[in-house]
Amino acid sequence: MLKIIPVPAFTDNYLWLLHLEGSNQAYVVDPGDAAPIEEALKQHGLELAGIMVTHHHGDHTGGIKKLTENRSIPVYGPDSPNISTITLPLKEGDSLSIGGNTEFKVFEVPGHTLDHIAYHSPADAALFCGDTLFAAGCGRMFEGEPRQMQASLAKLASLPKETEVYCAHEYTLANLKFAQAVEPDNETLQARVKQAEQVRASGGFTVPSVLGMELDTNPFLRVHTPSVIESANRQEPNEVNEPWQVFAVLRRWKDNF
């Protein structure tokens, strides 16, 4: 089993340190900066045993070289020419075992970037999804297109509802503000806003979220919902009906929100 330690970095990133309980070993997901990871390892008395990467953006990969300078450890990630530090590339359907008893399923989730992957541990009910799915939102499409990104989100949305969503940024309040614009009458969403505001006011983290809550409140996962479809058509009156078309409208709307 994993003990998952959030390591804040930059202004709003979360780097995730995965402590293999019963050992002093840990893996890190998306180490954009080496310094806070080294500090967290020291604080918790852990040894870094490996690195897991979701995509090539610098705030997810920038610390890899320093972390591997004096360590002979594997670096898992997408088979991408944009990440020269990957030593063990992964693809859709692969399984990754760490520490001998923790297994992740690998999903290809292109859209934010074309090389994006996500890691799901069924036993720990944990999803590490980088910048594809956020609490109450999703990543911008820097390289992909709407049909592709919506399919990636649908893939993650099909996981068990109790799955905890470990995304890479604290964007939740801004995402919830947009979600309210899309679904102003969603009572579950209103309650989530109040709870998230309280958490942030007290200095807490809104991540991880739970997939079941995302399905109830995240407009980018609710593209089949009549209220979301109606809102998309009010925003762009083009007879938008297909899920990917609804997603495309929402993403353009959010990009300029």
Helices (H), the chain: 34-44, 58-61, 64-68, 146-157, 172-182, 187-201, 211-217, 226-235, 243-255
Average pLDDT estimate for 166-186: 98
**Active site residue: 56, 57, 116, 120, which one?**
57
Phi, psi of 165 (to 5 degrees): -100, 105
Percent of the chain with pLDDT over 70: 100
Domain that holds residue 6: 2-255
Average pLDDT estimate for 128-154: 98
Output the domain CATH number for residue 19. 3.60.15.10
Residue 99, pLDDT above cutoff 90: no
Model pLDDT, residue 183? 98
Per residue in 27-37, pLDDT (tens digit) is 999 999 999 99
Number of separate domains in the chain: 1
Catalytic annotation present for 56: no
Model pLDDT, residue 36? 98
Catalytic annotation present for 79: no
Q: What is the mean pLDDT of the chain?
A: 97
Catalytic annotation present for 44: no
**Active site residue: 19, 30, 56, 59, which one?**
59
Catalytic annotation present for 59: yes
101 pLDDT band, cuts 50/70/90, is confident
- Candidates 192, 197, 179, 152; CA nearest to 254 is 179
The alpha carbons of the chain give a radius of gyration, in whole angstroms, of 18
Model pLDDT, residue 190? 98
Catalytic annotation present for 185: no
Residue 238, pLDDT above cutoff 90: no
Residue 1, pLDDT above cutoff 90: no
Residue 21, pLDDT above cutoff 90: no
Model pLDDT, residue 239? 85
**Active site residue: 19, 55, 116, 120, which one?**
55
Catalytic annotation present for 115: no
**Active site residue: 56, 116, 120, 169, which one?**
169
Model pLDDT, residue 234? 96
Q: 250 by DSSP, 3-state: which?
A: helix
Per residue in 43-88, pLDDT (tens digit) is 999 999 999 999 999 999 999 999 999 999 999 999 999 999 999 9
Catalytic annotation present for 224: no
**Active site residue: 19, 33, 56, 60, which one?**
60
Separation in Å, CA 60 to CA 16, 66, 83, 144, 186: 11, 13, 10, 18, 34
**Active site residue: 33, 115, 131, 216, which one?**
131
Model pLDDT, residue 159? 98
Average pLDDT estimate for 168-190: 98
Model pLDDT, residue 172? 98
**Active site residue: 19, 30, 33, 112, which one?**
112
The DSSP code sequence of 154-198 is HHHHTS-TT-EEEESB--HHHHHHHHHHH-TT-HHHHHHHHHHHH
Model pLDDT, residue 50? 98
